Amino acid sequence: MDARPGTAPTTIDDLPLPFLEVQPWDEHNRELVEHVRPPAWRNPQGTGRYNLVVIGGGTAGLVTAAGAARLGARVALIERELMGGDCLNAGCVPSKTLLRAAQAVVQVREARALGVKVPERVEVDFAAVMERVRAVRARLAPRDSAHRFQELGVDVFLGNARFTGRDTVRVGDQTLRFSRACVATGSRPLAPPVFGLATSGFLTTQSVFSLTSLPGRLAVLGGGASGCELAQAFARLGAQVTLLEAGPRLLAREDPDVAAVVEAALRHDGVDVRLGVRVGRVERRDAERVLTFSDEGQPPLRVDEVLVCTGRRPNVDDLQLDAAGVDYDERGGIRVDDRLRTTNRDIYAAGDCCTADRFTHVADAMARIVVRNALLFGRETTRDLAIPWVTFTDPEVAHVGLTAREAAEQGLLVQTLRVDLGDLDRPVIDADPSGFLAVHLERGSDRLLGATLVGRRAGEALGELSVAVQTRLGLSTLGKVIHAYPTRAEAVRRAADVLLQQRGASIVVRTLLRGLMALRR
């Protein structure tokens, strides 16, 4: 990873690591650090036994600590880097702020089609875009701050946590005793084993937000959600972007028709999407990086920066989990049961360190289960959670429940109904009729197994479908809900209409209905 100049000064002796990413050292980042890593912070003196010790100050850890404190528990929270974790500092908040700026560029360009006169050339001040990213991050930091959690009654320790026994953990020169503990240490970017990549220097989904100047030529490694989002954003902001994916298509977790829509959108924005290619070597030559491919038929690619978006790795090393009797795998994370208990029944885990569903809202949901199970004798499980996710490309991809492929893999018979958003009035009014809704029903019933909505602001319309999947509602029930006109949410009612039409299309049903209507004349 590139360590760029201008790191922040600090009085914390043993923690230089976080400040490698908090760059440049301007007023916004100084404000951020004052909240999430106060340089003058002094750890409290931990005495006695804690009801709960939480390791990790990201979403899972913060929700767990706050929930436990509100119950009256004695809580300690340990964070080795920045409070707020990946979501605030290097994930959802900065990335979606960047995407908002990139979206504005396209909205200005598209205004011409609506009769609004705008300049032919849209200018982007990339330094100003990134300054706003830092400003938004600093503005939201107080809710995750060390001082706020101190005010909630949580003992906040800044330092490295290491287990020293089944009910003890050490931070700094103190050993904390606990009745229960929760490991919520999150994950970090995982770089592929490409020869020369490390020595050539590269950006990750963490360090990319330290940029102050736009890379003229950018290679993005990885065609998952983050890779697609950032590739599209940088292309819209003016970079020449090449997206390299080793697999046969983008967004491997989605159904193929969804991935095809996103690929077409990226190409439309100028992204050079290359599928089925593997980078064999990266070499730094002066200010540029030269990528050569395993396939000798591919010419070398010359870029100014390489952005790695090839997955994440759980933060489970350096915790001495073995001393606590907690089983883990360096790639898969901590092993938990469906109540989020580890192999030490007094220690729980939540968030990225123990799940493949690495989303902020999943970490939040898991944290709430931990609080109830660890402190309130609950028996809640993750087994039946209907997990939604959104890929914030343009168009967005919003999904909940099973995909068609996942349902088939589980041996379920599925009926898929599709509604094109272009058949609705609102997308036409907005001059953006692309996208679709696909709902997957259990064949022979109207029970909703999963749904995918592709279109602008699709994530905002996902809640209704998530409720249906979580509560096992039928599509017919959703069809009885009155949806405001004109909105994109009408797609749900339209899908229910399609189901009703299909069921009424059989010869027997049509014959019976004609007979009934004849009797009522």
Annotate 352-394 with DSSP letters as a single string. Answer: GGG-S---HHHHHHHHHHHHHHHHS-----STT---EEEE-SS
Asked which of 310, 340, 365 is the last residue of a domain, the reply is 310
Cβ–Cβ under 8 Å, residues 334 and 349: yes
* 205 and 180 housed in the same domain: no
Which residues lie closer than 8 Å to 14 by C-beta, 6 or more apart? 159, 160, 172
Decide if 57 is inside a domain: yes
pLDDT at 174: 96
48: three-class secondary structure by DSSP:
coil
CATH of the domain at 440: 3.30.390.30
**pLDDT digit string (tens) for 407-465?**
889 999 999 999 999 999 999 999 988 899 999 999 888 999 999 999 999 999 999 99
The residue type found at 13 is D
Closest CA to 72 of 157, 153, 184: 153
Strands 288-293 and 301-303 turn out to be antiparallel
Look at residue 387 and tell me if it is in a domain.
Answer: no
Phi, psi (5° rounding) for residue 139? Answer: -65, -35
Question: For residues 141 and 139, what is the distance between their CA atoms, to the nearest angstrom?
Answer: 6
Amino acid occupying residue 95? S
Answer whether 0.75 is exceeded by the pTM: yes
Q: Which amino acid is at 336?
A: V
CA distance 144 to 49: 25
Amino acid at 494: R
Answer yes or no: do 55 and 148 share one domain: yes
| Alpha carbons 99 and 230: distance in angstroms, whole number | 8
CA 328 – CA 185 distance, rounded (Å): 13
Q: End of a domain among 257, 279, 310?
A: 310
Main-chain dihedrals φ then ψ at residue 420, nearest 5 degrees: -80, 130
Buried b (16+ CB within 10 A) or exposed e, 452-486: bbbbbbbbebbeebbebbbeebbbeebbeeebeee
Q: Is 67 domain-assigned? A: yes
Residue 109 CB neighbours (<10 A): 15
Question: Do 169 and 262 share a domain, yes or no?
Answer: no
Q: In terms of domains, do 161 and 46 share one?
A: yes
CB–CB of 397/260 below 8 Å?
Answer: no
Domain count, the chain: 3
Q: What is the pLDDT of residue 517?
A: 78
CATH number at residue 334: 3.50.50.60
Phi–psi pair at 399, nearest 5 degrees: -140, 150
Residues 70, 371: contact at Cβ < 8 Å?
no
Residue 164 falls inside a structural domain: yes
Mean pLDDT in runs of 10 for the chain (521 residues)? 36 40 90 95 95 98 98 97 95 97 95 90 95 98 98 97 98 97 96 94 94 97 98 98 97 94 97 97 95 90 97 94 96 96 98 96 98 95 93 97 89 93 93 93 91 94 93 91 91 91 68 77 71
Q: Could you give the angle at which helices 59-70 and 360-375 cross, rounded to 10 degrees?
A: 30
Q: How many residues does the chain have?
A: 521
CA distance 19 to 4: 10
Last residue of a domain, one of 255, 286, 310: 310
**Residue 385 maps to a domain:** no
CA–CA separation, 243 and 266 (whole Å): 9
**Beta pairing, strands 305-308 & 203-204:** parallel
Residue 513 located in a structural domain = no
Between CA 476 and CA 488 the distance in angstroms is 18
pLDDT at residue 2 in the model: 40
Q: CA dist 329 to 167, 313, 314, 317, 496, Å?
A: 21, 10, 9, 9, 45
Tally of CA atoms within 13 A in the half-sphere of 147 that contains its CB: 10
Q: Residues 6 or more apart from 173 whose CB is under 8 A from it?
A: none
Contact 491, 428 (CB under 8 A): no
423 and 340, same structural domain? Answer: no
What DSSP assignment string belongs to 269-305?
TT-EEEES--EEEEEEETTEEEEEESSTTSPPEEESE
Residues 244 and 362 in one domain: no
One domain for residues 278 and 221: yes
Any domain includes 521: no
Q: Which residues of 132-148 are buried (b: 16+ CB within 10 A; e: fewer)?
A: bbbbbbbebbeebbbeb
Q: How far apart are CA 302 and CA 291, in angstroms?
A: 6
Claim to verify: residue 207 and residue 116 sit in the same structural domain:
no
d(CA 27, CA 8): 11
Please tell me the predicted confidence (pLDDT) of residue 10.
32
Task: Say whether both 272 and 232 belong to one domain.
Answer: yes
pLDDT at 504 (0 to 100) = 65
Residues 106 and 137 placed together within one structural domain of the fold: yes
Q: Are residues 172 and 34 in the same domain?
A: yes
| Residue ranges making up the domain that contains 407 | 395-503
Count CA within 13 A, CB hemisphere, residue 492: 28
pLDDT value at residue 119: 86
Tell me, what's the pLDDT at 506? 61
For residue 509, being part of any structural domain is answered with no
Together in a domain, 252 and 135: no
User: How many CB atoms within 10 Å of residue 270?
Assistant: 14
